[in-house]
Amino acid sequence: MEKVTIKEVSKHLGQDIQLQSWVFNFRSSGKIFFLQLRDGTGRLQAVISKNDVSEDVWKVCEEITMESSVIVTGVVNEEKRSPFGFEMQVKDIKVLQVAEEYPIAKKEHGIDFLLDNRHLWLRSERQATIMRVRDEIIWLMREFFRNEGFVLTDSPILTPTSCEGTTTLFSTEYFDETAYLSQSGQLYLEACAMALGKVYDFGPTFRAEKSKTRRHMMEFWMLDAEAAFMQHDENLKVQEKLVSYVVVNILKSKKKELKLLGRDTKFLEKVKAPFPRMKYSEAINKLHNLGSDIKEGEDLGADDETMLMKEFDQPVFVTHYPTKIKAFYMQPDPENPNQVLCDDLLAPEGYGEIIGGSERIWDLKLLEQRIKEHKLSQKDFEWYVDLRRYGSVPHAGFGIGLERTVAWICGLDHVRETIPFPRLLNRLKP
Ligand code: ATP
């Protein structure tokens, strides 16, 4: 008997096949059982008529509960009236395990209950669909960088020091030393760029941020990209090309999934490079005109970003932030050293920052001076400073947060649904 997945049934119409699946719903009308099956690749209704099966098979059906695991044998045919498009007439059924009473019923549950049961909640059609879109976004990003000639050089997760300040670091024992979980792979990636030219990394990053917002997690996935000889303008071009590539392709390859999520894609369909650019000073003026009381020199908060983006349906770059509120390694603007050649890419529809990038300081003396000004340990950054001692070149790069990108593309209210097991403030389980 051929084992077939639900996704493949259309190629086996009229044949005897076997499906290995779970029962996500069922009902009976006395003489007929309707089992709704899922196997990870799709969903399908299977029908069992009392008159067509043996008494033993009928008895098995009566035992079935929601989420029981079953192996079903039968014939699949097209069924226009079914939402699944196909239906199986069952000949035989074997129950692998009769599930206990399933805690996630059809009724509405609160978010805490669902997060406590994340290991089960993931089985819901909506959550599984989000995971499929996430998977596709990851592949598209990787494909983009491969096409553009970037080499994957992953950065370490256990690090001896921080990339940007120590207040948001998770620490752990590393034999008789302390190690910190990486907040960003950037500094290591700069070293790789000096070896390979164009590089990227993609991995989990950790920030002990006491922020309980809809876009912060303690563990999230970031893709950093870095290129030697790349400067500010080109850096922005790579970012907008990447984001356009992901959005244009996801609208084609995951159309069905986005529809299932109820995503109105009219804004996504407009995403096309080049994206509007705005200097920080312009952003502040605009915000003041819109009624914000943000002060010159302050970082944009989530509310400011949302307010600023109201009149845009494309992602927007905010560039040239004040030097004093940005990281030590950012290259000053030659026309105004009080600002740096950096950018945040803000997604429309209230999603806010999804990318942070900058040109990096490549002058030895200036970098040493910045390390002092930021009261960072010279010793810890010795290897990083070395990159400016041995064939230093201008270079730039950026980091894109996967979960914020997934939340935006799927149109979700919160990043917690974009990762299989979210790590949030006060939530480490399951
Ligand atoms: P924010 O100001 O919103 O906290 P950031 O300026 O600290 O973000 P970067 O250090 O520039 O962010 O990190 C690059 C990208 O990583 C961000 O644009 C965002 O997409 C993502 N990111 C940063 N922090 C988080 C977090 N706590 N949870 C999820 N994604 C994050």
Dump pLDDT digits (tens) for 50-100: 999 999 999 999 999 999 999 999 999 999 988 889 999 999 999 999 999
Position 268, amino acid: L
Whether 25 contacts 62, CB under 8 Å = no
Once rounded to an integer, what is the mean pLDDT over residues 29-58? 94
Query: Is residue 323 predicted with pLDDT exceeding 80?
Result: yes
Q: For residue 202, what are its two tokens?
A: 């993609």
Query: Is residue 163 predicted with pLDDT exceeding 70?
Result: no
Report the CATH architecture of 2-97: Beta Barrel (2.40)
pLDDT band at residue 162, thresholds of 50, 70 and 90? low
d(CA 286, CA 239) in angstroms, rounded, equals 24
Once rounded to an integer, what is the mean pLDDT over residues 125-153? 98
Count Cβ atoms within 10 A of the Cβ of residue 375 and give its class: 0-12 exposed, 13-18 middle, 19 or more buried: exposed
- Span from the CA of 359 to the centroid of ligand 1 (angstroms): 17
Q: Whose CA is nearest to atom 23 of ligand 1?
A: 401
Pocket lining: 207 vs ligand 1, CB cutoff 6 Å: yes
Whether 9 contacts 77, CB under 8 Å = no
Query: Is residue 362 predicted with pLDDT exceeding 70?
Result: yes
Pocket lining: 346 vs ligand 1, CB cutoff 6 Å: no
- Span from the CA of 216 to the centroid of ligand 1 (angstroms): 7
Q: Whose CA is nearest to atom 26 of ligand 1?
A: 216
Query: Is residue 426 predicted with pLDDT exceeding 90?
Result: no
Pocket lining: 217 vs ligand 1, CB cutoff 6 Å: yes
d(CA 219, CA 39) in angstroms, rounded, equals 29
Assigned superfamily of 118-417: Bira Bifunctional Protein; Domain 2 (3.30.930.10)
Residue 104 backbone phi and psi in degrees, to 5:
-95, 100
Q: What is the pTM of this model?
A: 0.96
Q: Whose CA is nearest to atom 10 of ligand 1?
A: 356
Per-residue model confidence (pLDDT) at position 164: 60
Q: Where are the domains of the chain?
A: 2-97, 118-417
Residues linked to residue 223 through DSSP beta bridges, in sequence order: 202, 400
Q: What is the pLDDT of residues 173-214, one digit of tens each?
A: 999 999 999 999 999 999 999 999 999 999 999 999 888 889
Task: Please give the share of the chain, as a percent, with pLDDT higher than 90.
Answer: 91
pLDDT band at residue 161, thresholds of 50, 70 and 90? confident
